A and B are shown apart, each in its own frame.
Chain A
Amino acid sequence: MVLLFFKILGGEASKNFARSDISFGFGWLGDPPGFSIREGIDLQPNSGIRALAVGGLNTLRVAFSGIVAATLLGTVIGVARLSKNFIVSKLASFYIETIRNVPLLLQMFFWQVLLQSRSSLTEESVGTKLFDVSNKGIASTWVFPSTGFWPWLLIMIGGYYLARKVARTRRKYQEDTGEDGHPGLFGFLTILGVAIVGWFVHPLLSFLSILWDGIGNLIGAVPAASVSLLIAGLAVAVAAIWIKRFLDTKRTPAGLGKLTDDDIFRMIFAGVSALVIVWIAFKVGGAIINKPDGTDASVAAVLRDGLANIFYWFGDKFTGEAGSPLAISRPVVEVRGTGGFIQYGTTGILATVAFASVWIAVTLYTAAFIAEIIRGGILAVAKGQTEASQALGLRRSQYLRLIVLPQAFRIILPPLGNQYLNLAKNTSLGTALAFGEIVAVGSTLMNQTGQSLPIVLVWMAFYLTLSLSLSGVVNYYNRRMALVER
């Protein structure tokens, strides 16, 4: 009955689609979208898929920086609310009750209005700044990678492992002798030393550029068909291994346990995803991705060339040129063009009004919820744990670090992951502020092409990937944190 309903509704829909001259398809992904985006990695995207990628990256940019900031702020406020100090805890409650009872969209509008009512840039403001807020946005000094950054980074990765080894040796020394070995201090000094030495010696690594180029050439020479085969094989193998492992977790000594529908659903989903990847690897070609120069290419070829290009690009960075790997860049207010248009220059980092409003709003809003989660988590660690630690003579800082936080973290993590996901989804309200995130770009594309269903599918794929990766991370930590129970 329900199937019948869907069938008839679907038929009705396609009839209507036909009537309104829209055919379902993905051709628009390759067509120039005919609009520009206000901010992002590419302001004039030359294809639909590129526009969506710019929007998606803008979403991720707000979401991830927002997650970091909201976690820090939320933790501080959550702990403050638990404080024995009357006024501190009341201030924290005030923050939480104010922020979470007002619609997020309204808060975004509020920050937008506040920023837009800042004075505009004038002749007097021309010059180099440290930090500047105006109705054009927030400009700040920032540190950017510069000459020799990549070789230096490579040295730093080596330094990290060296520091870990040093710290471990020092800890062992401490445990063996009982004397304080200062493992943290030694580790820090090691990495600092490596950083300083690397700062000057990184040109020595220039010989590696030959290696990177060689790898790039090697990858570029692989025929596209075998890349397709490789991708397909990998997808099938990953899916098969995942299903096998999944079944193993359900296996009890008495044989295979009862599988719930959710389990079967997941396995089917894994299989279908693998098949979709196989299909894309072999089938999808020029119809979807028109390269800018007009040549068609299959997904496999594009991937291969992309990977090779990464290595070429990497090779270019190992020039052997001496110089500081990091450069501090300060924002500039300058007169641009002949019309005397006053704007921020390209140096420093600039958050547009839309970006800043969305970012501030989602950060403050989510921080209020995170604070409540942190507070609940700490309260949920039984009082007896603190008392037992105190009775043993542990200091406050010690038992918080060794006893309370590890246990609270377990309770906090799942709802925290949920809040991260909410934050990521809430950035979509930026569409009301003309912030070019994925929903705003998508709905503009919808209006231009009339392709609503495919764009909804793209949205779903985007948010689904986001939520799966977030819950993947959360589950990983959750498993590591799980308590062993009888």
Chain B
Amino acid sequence: MSVANNKDVIICEGVKKWFGDFQALKGVNATVKEQEVVVVIGPSGSGKSTFIRCINRLEAHQEGTIIVDGIELTNDVRNIDKIRSEVGMVFQQFNLFPHLTILDNIALAPLWVRKQPRGEVEEEAMALLERVGIPEQADKFPGQLSGGQQQRVAIARALAMKPKIMLFDEPTSALDPEMIKEVLDVMKELARSGMTMIVVTHEMGFAREVADRVLFFDYGLVVEEGTPDHFFENPQHDRTKLFLSQIL
């Protein structure tokens, strides 16, 4: 499976971002190709979450350019709406809507954003629940599910919009160890199906097994990048070596 010749779907050039006086991103350059799975790792506070949140403009970057699927991210609301409906996102804290049933959580966006008929939407939602392995929970509320199940619902919810790109922001960090596997399995299946994915994670096993490329973030910069083999076996940068020695 090679993606080297696919076209670029995400291009970031010199992306800078400040929170007040604190500079979170100091000029990030990165590209992601179609069907590529990119894993982003790095110590906490290194800017990796800020980076992927800039890609669907949950955070607005202040300098540099981000181009997603040929559309440049600017303050233009129409561009943002278009990109957001093509980029799905899964959060660390699941962020399911607690007042809606599981089925309604998944059906919400297709109904209101894509304006699809309800019957069709519910059928697709059930199919997605089958895919993540919990069709029997459709009529329950998020509060009644375990963390792992909630995160799988969150993935299904993001997939319901039929996105071209999926962003994962530490999807397993808030889970108990025994639930991590069920979520990772869903993500692996998704990667095999050819989805373009950017995954911020601390799961090195997942990175080795699934990733096409690994980005290492620190100090708001991409310090090093490479294929998993290259990256884990033969890191170039001192900072990367130190990080890997601490985490592995």
- 23 pairs, CB–CB < 8 Å, chain A vs chain B: A175-B119, A176-B117, A178-B116, A388-B91, A388-B95, A388-B96, A389-B97, A390-B84, A391-B56, A391-B91, A391-B158, A392-B84, A392-B161, A393-B84, A393-B113, A393-B161, A395-B81, A406-B99, A407-B97, A407-B99, A483-B99, A484-B143, A486-B143
- Which of these, A178, A385, A390, A484, contacts B117 with CB under 8 Å? A178
- Residue A394 at the B interface, CB < 8 A? yes
Chain B residues with CB under 8 Å of chain A are 56, 58, 81, 84-85, 87-89, 91, 93, 95-99, 108-109, 112-113, 115-120, 140-141, 143-145, 154, 157-158, 161, 167
Q: Nearest 10 A-B pairs (CB), nearest first?
A: A175-B118, A178-B117, A388-B95, A384-B95, A391-B89, A393-B85, A392-B109, A485-B143, A484-B141, A393-B84
Binding site secondary structure of chain A: helix
How far is it, in angstroms, between the C-alpha of A410 and the C-alpha of B97 when the chains are bound?
14
How far is it, in angstroms, between the C-alpha of A106 and the C-alpha of B112 when the chains are bound?
50
Beyond A384-B95, A391-B56, A392-B157, whether A398 also contacts B112 by CB under 8 A is yes
How far is it, in angstroms, between the C-alpha of A361 and the C-alpha of B92 when the chains are bound?
47
Beyond A387-B95, A483-B141, A484-B144, whether A394 also contacts B117 by CB under 8 A is no
7 extra interface residue pairs, beta carbon distance < 8 Å, beyond A176-B119, A387-B95, A389-B97: A178-B116, A384-B95, A388-B96, A398-B112, A410-B99, A485-B144, A486-B143
Interface size bucket, A side? Answer: 20 to 34
Minimum distance in angstroms from B2 CB to a CB of chain A:
30
- Residue A68 at the B interface, CB < 8 A? no
- Residue A249 at the B interface, CB < 8 A? no
Which A residues are CB-close (under 8 A) to B88? 391-392
In the complex, residue of chain B having the shortest beta-carbon distance to the beta carbon of A403: B97
Minimum distance in angstroms from B206 CB to a CB of chain A:
22
How far is it, in angstroms, between the C-alpha of A389 and the C-alpha of B157 when the chains are bound?
11
- Residue A177 at the B interface, CB < 8 A? yes
In the complex, residue of chain B having the shortest beta-carbon distance to the beta carbon of A485: B143
Contact assessment for B158 and A392 in the assembled complex, using a CB-CB cutoff below 8 Å: yes
Contact assessment for B95 and A382 in the assembled complex, using a CB-CB cutoff below 8 Å: yes
How far is it, in angstroms, between the C-alpha of A176 and the C-alpha of B97 when the chains are bound?
25
- Which of these, A384, A398, A410, A486, contacts B93 with CB under 8 Å? A384
Chain A residues with CB under 8 Å of chain B are 174-178, 180, 382, 384-385, 387-395, 398, 402-403, 406-407, 410, 481, 483-486
Contact assessment for B91 and A387 in the assembled complex, using a CB-CB cutoff below 8 Å: yes
Which B residues are CB-close (under 8 A) to A387? 58, 91, 95
In the complex, residue of chain B having the shortest beta-carbon distance to the beta carbon of A409: B99
Minimum distance in angstroms from A113 CB to a CB of chain B:
47
In the complex, residue of chain B having the shortest beta-carbon distance to the beta carbon of A398: B112
Minimum distance in angstroms from B52 CB to a CB of chain A:
11
Beyond A382-B95, A486-B144, whether A391 also contacts B58 by CB under 8 A is yes
How far is it, in angstroms, between the C-alpha of A484 and the C-alpha of B140 when the chains are bound?
9
In the complex, residue of chain B having the shortest beta-carbon distance to the beta carbon of A406: B99
Beyond A391-B84, A486-B144, whether A177 also contacts B117 by CB under 8 A is yes
- Which of these, A385, A390, A481, contacts B97 with CB under 8 Å? A385
Contact assessment for A394 and B113 in the assembled complex, using a CB-CB cutoff below 8 Å: yes
Which B residues are CB-close (under 8 A) to A395? 81
- Which of these, B81, B141, B167, contacts A393 with CB under 8 Å? B81
How far is it, in angstroms, between the C-alpha of A406 and the C-alpha of B99 when the chains are bound?
8
Which A residues are CB-close (under 8 A) to B98? 407, 483
Minimum distance in angstroms from B215 CB to a CB of chain A:
21
How far is it, in angstroms, between the C-alpha of A227 and the C-alpha of B115 when the chains are bound?
58
Which B residues are CB-close (under 8 A) to A486? 143-145
Contact assessment for B91 and A402 in the assembled complex, using a CB-CB cutoff below 8 Å: no
In the complex, residue of chain A having the shortest beta-carbon distance to the beta carbon of B157: A392
Minimum distance in angstroms from A141 CB to a CB of chain B:
41
In the complex, residue of chain B having the shortest beta-carbon distance to the beta carbon of A396: B77
Minimum distance in angstroms from A170 CB to a CB of chain B:
13
Contact assessment for A483 and B89 in the assembled complex, using a CB-CB cutoff below 8 Å: no
In the complex, residue of chain A having the shortest beta-carbon distance to the beta carbon of B111: A175
